[in-house]
Amino acid sequence: MTENQLPLENLRVIELGTLIAGPFSGRLLADFGAEVIKIEPPGKADQMRNWGQSKDGVGLWWPIQSRNKKSITLNLRKEEGQAILRELVKEADIIIENFRPGTMEKWNLSYESLSEINPGIIMVRTSGFGQTGPYKNRAGFGSVGEAMGGLRYVTGFPDRPPTRIGISIGDTLAALFATIGCLVAVHERKQSGKGQVVDTALYESVFSIMESIIPDYQLAGYVRERMGNILPGIAPSNIYFTKDKTYIVIGANADNVFRRLCEAMGQPELADDSRFSSHNSRGENMKLLDLMIEEWTKSLPAKEALKILEEKGVPSGLIYSAKEILEDPHYQEREMIVTVPHPELGDFSMPGIVPKLSRTPGKVKHPGAEAIGKHNEEVYTKILGFSIEKMDELKTAEII
């Protein structure tokens, strides 16, 4: 491997999924160099191409979700299309799919049958409830996973119904766990030479991050409820209004950090006040403490308050919209806003690569293919050796 190579360049991935969870896994692998071949049915593009805002008729989410990928068409509902996929599987390392369980089997593309022709194949399967269990056949979107995984119950304010986070967090969490599982399976394959199934459920991915809610309930009889912007028993950690009518976030719940906050506020004596001198006492007196902190923040413009907090080493920040993100020099310095040329929209900015690797970092080479099936000729002729005549026949038969 040379210094110019990306770390996953030796992996070929077939992405069969649609919308968010499966394709986000494909994006993460492609960011680090995997050859990700995105398959869509001929004449029926992934709905993600039209999701979100648009500019001049071009969806603005798709170029991010499908960056660095190749786009081909293939009809998996027909036997000839299934046969072609099997040929691709022979040349691949990973299959990503996020259909309802049983769909791949219905298409005669079960893991068992595919592993017979490629024992090293890894199948990454993301679904609402997993490949087993009484709920396996239920349809499941990220919203349902967030609800049944416990996240929606604790999100929002106590006097209002449960709410959602402003992004598709359930799908994204599932994609992250699926990608971790995929890379674990790739690593294990080096020892065994065998592939395996990575089974990721949306609800389980959400539940996995729900901290201690189960022992809280079973052992302490405590059910975590919606608490708005605070953390139960942890203070101070909240948003605070400022003189220029905006909000800042302050997190100073550790003893030493709280002492620094008191110094920043010009009230060092509060750190030794019995109501606030320990973690438990601050939690018990959270409302009073938040009022005292906000009395200080309301006396200052946000930037001035943040400057004082920064000087004292207190974690704090503005609540950013896209505008503040684009203007922030730290985002720019760490290349978290990457601009690549889009054939229709010109310069196109999107989130950079996470995480940062010191020696073999990932790279955004291009936005998602604007045309469905753009790489048909490249993939089918170079990988499978199809002739142009055969390509024309497959297109006429609506296989590709």
- Read off the pLDDT of residues 21-36 as tens digits, 9 standing for 90 and up: 999 999 999 999 999 9
CATH 3.30.1540.10 intervals, the chain: 237-241+247-318
Three-state SS for 348?
strand
Q: Say yes or no: domain 237-241+247-318 is CATH 3.30.1540.10.
A: yes
pTM over 0.85, yes/no: yes
Give residue 3's pLDDT: 59
Q: What is the DSSP secondary-structure string of 162-220? A: ----SS-HHHHHHHHHHHHHHHHHHHHHHHH----EEEEEHHHHHHHT-TTHHHHHHHH
Can you tell me the distance from the alpha carbon of 184 to that of 310, in angstroms, rounded to the nearest whole number? 39
d(CA 108, CA 367): 33
Predicted confidence at residue 2, as pLDDT, reads 57
User: Tell me, what's the pLDDT at 52?
Assistant: 87
What is the structure's pLDDT at 372? 93
Report residue 186: phi and psi, to 5°: -65, -45
Using 70 as the pLDDT threshold, list the residues of the chain that sit under it.
1-3
Q: Is 394 exposed, middle or buried (0-12, 13-18, 19+ CB in 10 A)?
A: buried
- Tokens 């073999």 locate to 360
Least Cα distance to 35 among 82, 91, 84, 75 occurs for 91
Options 3.40.50.10540, 3.40.50.300, 3.40.50.2300, 3.30.470.20; CATH for 12-209+333-396 is: 3.40.50.10540
* Residue ranges matching CATH 3.40.50.10540 in the chain: 12-209+333-396
> Annotated catalytic sites, by residue?
171
